[in-house]
Amino acid sequence: MIDYSTFTEEALEARLKDLRQDHADMDAAIQALSLAPLPDLVVIGRLKRKKLALKDEIARIEDYLNPDIIA
């Protein structure tokens, strides 16, 4: 796991922005592949797992940046 304390807040905000964009791009790719006449379920499954990993990292960074907010 990444030690976020070694990064500046600005660096973490930039990483968060990139991760959110990657997450949105992954969602768009999954949607596009799902609309194919014969969708490749293996590829879609891999993309969904990667998307979930992105979501998890986004949550970890958000929790680090905002420790007082209880979900």
Q: What is the pLDDT of residues 36-68, one digit of tens each?
A: 999 999 999 999 999 999 999 999 999 999 988
Domain with 12 in it: 7-64
Sequence-ordered list of residues with C-beta below 8 angstroms from that of 16, at least 6 positions apart, any chain: 58, 61, 62, 65
Please check whether residue 4 is in contact with residue 64, taking contact to mean a CB–CB distance below 8 angstroms.
Answer: yes
Q: Is residue 12 included in any domain, yes or no?
A: yes
Nearest CA among 57, 61, 52 for reference residue 26: 52
pLDDT digits (tens, 9 = 90+) for 21-31: 999 999 999 99
Cut 0.85: pTM above it: yes
Instruction: Establish if 2 belongs to a structural domain.
Output: no
Instruction: Say what the pLDDT of residue 43 is.
Output: 97
Residue 69 lies inside a defined structural domain of this protein: no
Please determine, for residue 69, whether its predicted confidence score (pLDDT) is greater than 80.
Answer: no
Q: Decide if 4 contacts 61 (C-beta within 8 A).
A: yes
Question: Is residue 71's pLDDT more than 60?
Answer: no
Number of structural domains in the chain: 1
- d(CA 69, CA 46) in angstroms, rounded, equals 32
